[in-house]
A and B are shown apart, each in its own frame.
Chain A
Amino acid sequence: MISLLILLPLWGFIGLCYLNSLPPHRRQNPCHLPRSTPWQRSCYIAGPFIALALSYRLAGLDGLFLWGFSAPLMGIVLGITLPYWPKKHVQKEALSDHYLQK
């Protein structure tokens, strides 16, 4: 249970970092993190491996399966709920991205 409680927010964070790394025209789902940085990018690339090692350390073989099952569930929850989050931030963020690109 503890592994799951650690894994779910971790997958959520990885998902948000991933969304943030997408170019604005691809980013249909709003995301409230600050603008993408190399640090965030390395987070979403290294995150799954860290989560895998952590879950194996905490729950052994059970942890590996927990890692595998929790990823799609958290992804779907993020994918479905994010479009309903308030849009205010997103517009601002998209605008700032657009401005910075120019």
Chain B
Amino acid sequence: MSPRLRTILRVIHRWVGFPFGVFLFILCFTGSLACFGPEVQNWMQPEAALRPSSPLMSQTGLIEASHQLKAQLDKGQFAFLKLPSQRDPVFRLWHYDGHIFRGPTLAADTGLPLLTSDVVGGSFFTTLHSSLYLPTPWGQCLTALAGLTLMIALISGLWLQLRRFLPDLLLFRPHAARHRQWLDLHLLGGTLSIPILFIVGGSGLVLQSQELLHFINPPSHTARPANRHQAHSQTSPPISDALITKLAQNAQQQWGDEGDGFFMLAGKELALYAPDTLHFCLYRQAITASRPRLPPHNLCPTLHSVFLGVHNLRWAGFVTRCLYGLTGLLGCLIIGSGMRLFLQSEQNHLCHHHAITYSQHIQQRLYRAVSMATIFGLPLATLALFWSTRLPAPLPPILWEEGLFFTLWGVSLLYALISRHAARHLLMMLMLLGLGTSGLDLATRPFHTGRPALFLSVDALAACLGGACLLALLYHPHYAKKRAILRSKR
């Protein structure tokens, strides 16, 4: 490769990677959490984390829950009734509020509302992942652009590393200089996970582009579930106990005891939609009173459904989903190390100048602040969100939780802009929140719960994050210097 081409590729990789790395870090982080939406929802609502019963719901529970659904529809609210599943063993009478799914939680055996507070739940991270909580179509535009830049960064990075791709595939030198360590880590993660990043990033890009195309050129048909968030007609369809029982029995015959389907209005009649976990290709199939059997199953009817299957992985087993989540966190590590390398090289570049201008100084500080707010601020805001769902809220719960998340994230950016010690302080806060999550969890939920493994896993993950921050603080230059002074005094 000629030096000129190498320079061009480096410039593209750095200047495409850094600004959009911020968004890509958010997408990877929230994508990892979105893999475990029902589990996050259950952690935030410990009263709903019950042991899945067998069968998953009772007849009485289903009838009572359908009465609640009818009451909501009669009030003019477009709600749907999500059936219990192994991952979320309660009825959810949800409606979409423009950002997240929310609504009462009903017991699987009685169908009566459980005493749970309304929380943002797992769908908060799904929305943040798909549209960054921005209004349509700006969020979709931004995420599609981030996906495109991911492809550019991957191709330019691969091209740069092509000659040493195989010989240096597992190369990591922890005893080298700090910059080399980070570069090795970036290359180790990047080269090993490049096929997955291409597949996941590419499928996400295609899905967002399709959404944007639908926004620009909406499909002509109107009686499809696609427009379920639109206001429905004032007259709700007849929902009798017999109809509900018949649909539930039909569903059980056709897709077994899987659960996780949902009752929703489709056109002018009530439909029972098959669970997303049923097939690899995700597409909405429903049975109604007039169409009691699912249409014959094509392997994958559209390209869109294939990409949904590849990107969402709702059909996959628990272990695969865990590894998918870990891969998302690995993406965060690659992007975070890339940002660290960018900052270091910019700083080195400035060191060669005799005098640094004020604008250069501000620019450098801005890069640092943005990186810190992304790498430390986002996990901090996420942990604070988890805490806020368990602590008393001074405002309506969802407003308070969303407000706290975005305020804390914004404050971490501002703080990183004005303080030199922001990294240390943000790490300290992350450590405190991470290590304290287990205590908070035990103090704010009943000790005996139906799903102890769920709470243990979330607490352990938070504790790992806190532990990692503690280690980072111990090796922070500030404390390392202090330790060296103490040692020399002795």
A: residues with CB less than 8 A from B are: 1, 3-4, 15, 18-19, 22, 26, 28-29, 59, 61-62, 65-66, 68-73, 75-76, 78-80, 82-84
Interface centre among A61, A66, A71, A76 (most CB of B within 10 A): A76
Residues of A within 8 A of B193 (CB): 72
Flag if B192 contacts A72 (CB, 8 Å): yes
Flag if A72 contacts B330 (CB, 8 Å): yes
Is B16 interfacial (CB 8 A cutoff)? no
Among residues of B, the one whose C-beta sits closest to the C-beta of A4 is: B319
* Distance of A53 from chain B, by nearest CB (Å): 18
Known: A29-B170, A73-B327, A83-B174. A66 touches B196 (CB 8 A): no
Known: A66-B323, A73-B327. A61 touches B280 (CB 8 A): yes
Flag if B192 contacts A84 (CB, 8 Å): no
Residues of B within 8 A of A3 (CB): 319
Known: A68-B196, A79-B188. A73 touches B170 (CB 8 A): no
Is B6 interfacial (CB 8 A cutoff)? no
Residues of B within 8 A of A73 (CB): 323, 326-327, 330
Chain A interface mostly: helix
Flag if B172 contacts A29 (CB, 8 Å): yes
Known: A62-B316, A68-B195. A79 touches B327 (CB 8 A): no
* Distance of B314 from chain A, by nearest CB (Å): 12
Among residues of B, the one whose C-beta sits closest to the C-beta of A31 is: B170
19 more CB-based (< 8 A) A-B contacts, given A69-B320, A83-B172: A3-B319, A15-B170, A22-B167, A59-B317, A62-B316, A66-B323, A69-B323, A69-B324, A71-B192, A72-B189, A73-B327, A75-B169, A75-B192, A76-B189, A76-B330, A79-B170, A79-B171, A80-B174, A82-B170
Among residues of B, the one whose C-beta sits closest to the C-beta of A1 is: B319
Flag if B170 contacts A26 (CB, 8 Å): no
Is B175 interfacial (CB 8 A cutoff)? yes
Residues of B within 8 A of A76 (CB): 188-189, 192, 330
Q: Which of B169, B171, B188, B323 contacts A70 (CB 8 A)?
A: B323
B: residues with CB less than 8 A from A are: 167-175, 188-189, 192-193, 195-196, 199, 280, 313, 315-317, 319-320, 323-324, 326-327, 330
* Distance of B333 from chain A, by nearest CB (Å): 9
Closest CB pairs A-B (n = 3): A69-B323, A72-B192, A72-B193
Complex formed: what's the CA distance from A71 to B366 in Å? 37
Residues of A within 8 A of B189 (CB): 72, 76
Complex formed: what's the CA distance from A22 to B169 in Å? 11
Residues of B within 8 A of A68 (CB): 195-196, 199
* Distance of A97 from chain B, by nearest CB (Å): 16
Residues of A within 8 A of B315 (CB): 61
Known: A62-B316, A73-B330. A78 touches B280 (CB 8 A): no
Complex formed: what's the CA distance from A1 to B323 in Å? 11
Q: Which of B171, B192, B319, B326 contacts A29 (CB 8 A)?
A: B171
* Distance of A19 from chain B, by nearest CB (Å): 6
Q: Which of B172, B199, B280, B319 contacts A66 (CB 8 A)?
A: B319
Interface centre among A26, A29, A69, A75 (most CB of B within 10 A): A69
Complex formed: what's the CA distance from A92 to B199 in Å? 42
Known: A68-B196, A69-B196, A73-B327. A19 touches B170 (CB 8 A): yes
Flag if B170 contacts A62 (CB, 8 Å): no
Q: Which of B173, B174, B280, B327 contacts A69 (CB 8 A)?
A: B327
Among residues of A, the one whose C-beta sits closest to the C-beta of B313 is: A65
Known: A29-B170, A75-B170. A62 touches B317 (CB 8 A): yes
Residues of B within 8 A of A69 (CB): 196, 320, 323-324, 326-327
Among residues of A, the one whose C-beta sits closest to the C-beta of B195 is: A68
Give 8 CB contacts A-B under 8 Å: A28-B171, A29-B171, A62-B320, A65-B316, A68-B196, A69-B324, A70-B323, A72-B196
Complex formed: what's the CA distance from A80 to B184 in Å? 10
Interface centre among B171, B280, B324, B330 (most CB of A within 10 A): B171
Flag if B173 contacts A28 (CB, 8 Å): yes
Residues of B within 8 A of A15 (CB): 170
Residues of B within 8 A of A72 (CB): 189, 192-193, 196, 327, 330
Complex formed: what's the CA distance from A60 to B189 in Å? 27
Residues of B within 8 A of A79 (CB): 170-172, 188, 192
Residues of A within 8 A of B330 (CB): 72-73, 76
